[in-house]
């Protein structure tokens, strides 16, 4: 059996590392993960959530009903779209003047809901993301990955222990990445490619703990598993 091919649209390379670690825990067979966004050869799109938005708007302009219908994506068995839920607090003006002309018809930002529960904001942001793509719903091979409030909630759940203060309401803690970077040296987790690669195997190994503490990790696990078994 050939390796499963997965395309990933994400805010950044640290998100890629965490998503890949999660997929390694969920999928029983080897896979190849290709980062579609951010793409070094497309610096005009930039990174962060604005880069994801611009990538989606390019797809939207092609007028296709699903990502699976795009001939440039047909070789992928699964396509993962990642956004952190704190994007729900954002505004399109953050993405530069070039985005303003596209804003008509896009879902309203900000769209954040009270947290807890984290799911209300995630659901609102999913609806906004679909408008970026110009689709009614995601296709069977398109998986939405929206950790709350950021993917650092998954990192913290994997690496911190016991009754650590940052594990309280972990999916409703803003700027968690900054807080992980200010922990005492023995616990400190600085956001960066090298640091996250160092912890990737631990995230895979403790994925069950992440799911136990993070509702959105459980949801991502379920949609990946369902798509893989379809």
Q: Report the pLDDT value the prediction gives residue 230, as an integer from 0 to 100.
A: 82
Cis link prior to 117 (omega < 30° from 0)?
yes
| Region class of 129: left (phi > 0), else alpha (psi between -120 and 50), else beta | alpha
- CA-to-CA distance for 171 and 211, rounded, in angstroms? 12
- The partner residues of 79 in beta bridges, in order of sequence, read 7, 142
Sheet of 142-145: strands edge to edge?
31-37, 4-9, 78-82, 142-145
pLDDT band at 42 (very low <50, low <70, confident <90, very high): confident
- CA-to-CA distance for 159 and 118, rounded, in angstroms? 21
What mean pLDDT comes out for the span 39-67? 92
Q: Report the pLDDT value the prediction gives residue 1, as an integer from 0 to 100.
A: 53
% residues pLDDT > 90 (the chain): 86
pLDDT band at 40 (very low <50, low <70, confident <90, very high): confident
User: Would you give the DSSP letter of residue 32?
Assistant: E
What mean pLDDT comes out for the span 2-22? 96
Over residues 151-196, the pLDDT tens digits come to: 999 999 999 988 899 999 999 999 999 999 999 999 999 999 999 9
Per-residue pLDDT at 45 exceeds 70: yes
Per-residue pLDDT at 100 exceeds 70: no
Q: Report the pLDDT value the prediction gives residue 17, as an integer from 0 to 100.
A: 98
Q: Who's near 187: CB < 8 A, 6+ residues apart?
A: 160, 164
Question: pTM of the entire structure?
Answer: 0.96
Over residues 111-122, the pLDDT tens digits come to: 999 999 999 999
Q: How many other β-carbons are positioned within 10 Å of the β-carbon of residue 106?
A: 18
Structural contact between residues 81 and 35, judged by C-beta atoms closer than 8 angstroms: no
Domain residue extents for the chain: 4-229
């Amino acid at each position: 059996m050939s390796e499963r091919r997965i395309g990933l649209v994400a805010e950044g390379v640290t998100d890629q590392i965490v998503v890949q670690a999660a997929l390694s825990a969920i999928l029983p067979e080897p896979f190849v993960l290709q980062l579609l966004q951010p793409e070094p050869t497309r610096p005009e799109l930039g990174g962060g959530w604005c880069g994801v938005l611009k990538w989606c708007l390019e797809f939207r302009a092609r007028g296709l009903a699903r990502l699976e219908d795009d001939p440039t994506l047909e070789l992928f068995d699964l396509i993962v779209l990642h956004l952190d839920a704190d994007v729900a607090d954002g505004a399109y003006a953050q993405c530069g003047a070039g985005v303003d002309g596209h804003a008509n018809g896009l879902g309203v930002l900000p769209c954040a809901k009270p947290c807890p529960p984290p799911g209300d904001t995630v659901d609102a942001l999913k609806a906004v993301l679909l408008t970026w793509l110009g689709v009614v719903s995601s296709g069977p091979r398109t998986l939405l990955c929206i950790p709350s409030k950021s993917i650092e909630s998954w990192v913290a759940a994997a690496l911190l222990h016991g009754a650590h203060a940052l594990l309280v309401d972990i999916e409703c803690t803003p700027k968690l990445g900054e807080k992980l970077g200010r922990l005492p040296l023995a616990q400190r987790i600085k956001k960066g490619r090298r640091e996250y690669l160092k912890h990737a195997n631990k995230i895979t190994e403790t994925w069950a703990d992440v799911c136990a503490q993070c509702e959105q990790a459980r949801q991502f696990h379920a949609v990946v598993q369902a798509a893989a078994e379809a």
